[in-house]
Each structure stands twice: as structure tokens, then as C-alpha cells.
Amino acid sequence: MYLITSGSAVITWIILNVTAWKNHWDPYPFILLNLMLSFQAAYTAPIVMMSQNRAGDIDRKRAQQDLDCDLQAFL
């Protein structure tokens, strides 16, 4: 859902800037749009990395529990 919303916002931004009769608030290279997307990436990257680290910790604990269970079953 987030990707659809974000993608449609970018497409709307570009269409409105290209088809504006007067006052293109962000002309063709779309520098303001580029700046906003860079800010979004800057605060999204640490959140994604934290969730990956958390998922790695959970997987590591689950693997340890499986190993302990297998060792007990073997004995």
C-alpha cells in the first residue's frame, strides 16, 4: 500500500509540474522532488536496518532452540 501511495504521489507531482500553465514550482530536473525523496530514504534506511537486525536476532535464537531440542532428542 505504501509503494502505491508513494508512486502515485511522485507521478502526480511530475504531471502537475509538467502540465502547469504558469509557475512551475519545481521545473524539469525536479530538484525539490529529489530532495524530498532523499530525505525519505535518509530516515527509512536506519529503520529498515534495525528491523533486519531484530529479525536476525530472532532467527538466531530460533536456531539455537532447534539445536538444543535436537541435542536433547539425540541424547
Are 41 and 48 in contact by the 8 Å Cβ rule? The answer is no
Neighbouring CB atoms inside 10 A of 30's CB total 17
pLDDT class for 18, splitting at 50, 70, 90? confident
Buried b (16+ CB within 10 A) or exposed e, 39-52: eeeeeeeeeeeeee
- Distance (Å, whole) CA 17 – CA 45: 28
pLDDT of residue 59: 94
pLDDT digits (tens, 9 = 90+) for 20-65: 877 888 888 889 999 999 998 998 889 989 999 999 999 999 999 9
Q: What is the DSSP letter of 28?
A: T
Q: What is the pTM of this model?
A: 0.61
pLDDT of residue 16: 87
